[in-house]
Amino acid sequence: MRMSKSDRQPPANPRLVTLVIPAHNEAGRIDATARTALQASLVSRIIIVDDGSTDGTSAVAAAIAANEARLDVLRMATNQGKSAALLRGIRASNTDLIAFIDADLIGLTPQHIDDLIRPVLAGECDMSLGQFRGGRMHTDLAHLATPFLSGQRCLRWQHFRDAPFLEDARYAVEVAFSLHARRHGLAVRSIPWRGVTHITQPEKHGILRGFLSYLRMYSEIAFYVARLGLKPLARFW
């Protein structure tokens, strides 16, 4: 169900950039993320996709969208996973250049978003990855150890629309994009995001639920890789 302005679509243009923000139960954080994104100079349109939240995320986002022509909010009736939310936003975008960021970022500035977009927009790479640096030690280390899991990206959709099993990749969607880029020799650039971090699952849900959330995430990644076969993973690093 659409929660904001109805059927406006921008004209297809290789220099238009849509920023997709998937969100699940982020009512306390989506306001700050959306308002920061609205200040990014290279973003043409922002689509927030509420992935079946139960905490009023859509209502918070829709209140901002009511006064912002560049912002739309889409709501999925049930929680379908991160990949489904991203694809919903991408398919509603009508642009080839897509950026996406997580809804729970801390320390995000408009410059971070523009820095992520700029090299793809200029044709210097096919995909860029935002990498946390100098935010918090544990999130910095996570990005150093597994940079391909970053949820902050910009890409040309024409190069990634045929990545396999995207519909049900769920938390493995970032791995899906990274493996697809590796298999097809696409140029990927890491962009340091100084001072940025995010809310961890234990901070959101408590230690036990946070651990179970991480377990589910890595299980979905493992299942995705298993569907592809282990050969791509062996070459990934």
Q: Which domain holds residue 142?
A: 17-200
pLDDT value of position 205? 80
Average the pLDDT over each of 13-17, 128-132, 190-194 and give the range with the smallest value.
13-17
235 found inside a domain: no
Contact between residue 48 and residue 41 where contact means Cβ atoms under 8 Å apart: no
In a domain, 39, yes or no: yes
What Cα–Cα distance (Å) separates residue 116 from each residue in 94, 123, 215?
20, 13, 29
Q: What pTM does this model have?
A: 0.89
The answer to whether position 236 is within a domain reads no
**Number of domain units in the chain:** 1
pLDDT of 7 > 70? The answer is no
Q: Say whether pLDDT at 202 is over 90.
A: no
Percentage of the chain beyond pLDDT 90 is 79
Residue 194 domain-assigned? yes
Rounded average pLDDT over 124-144: 95
The model's confidence at residue 228, banded by pLDDT at 50, 70 and 90, is confident
How far apart (Å, rounded) are the C-alpha atoms in residues 26 and 103? 7
**For residue 216, is it within any domain?**
no
Please check the confidence at residue 224 and state whether its pLDDT lies above 50.
Answer: yes
In this predicted structure, the answer to whether residue 186 has a pLDDT above a threshold of 90 is yes
pLDDT at 231: 54
| CATH code of the domain covering residue 50 | 3.90.550.10
CA distance 211 to 205: 9
Position with higher pLDDT, 2 vs 74: 74
- Give dist(CA 136, CA 152) in Å, integer: 16
Residue 165 lies in a domain: yes
Residue 237 lies in a domain: no
pLDDT for 230 equals 56
Its sign, for the CA torsion 101, 104, 57, 202, is positive
What integer pLDDT is reported at residue 10 of this predicted model?
41
Question: What's the whole-number average pLDDT of the chain?
Answer: 90
207 lies in some domain? no
For residue 14, what pLDDT is reported?
A: 65
What is each CA distance from 108 to 111, 167, 199, in whole angstroms? 8, 29, 12
Is residue 4 over pLDDT 90?
Answer: no
Residue 210: what pLDDT? 80
pLDDT tier for residue 6 given thresholds of 50, 70 and 90: very low
Q: Of residues 177 and 4, which shows the higher confidence score? A: 177
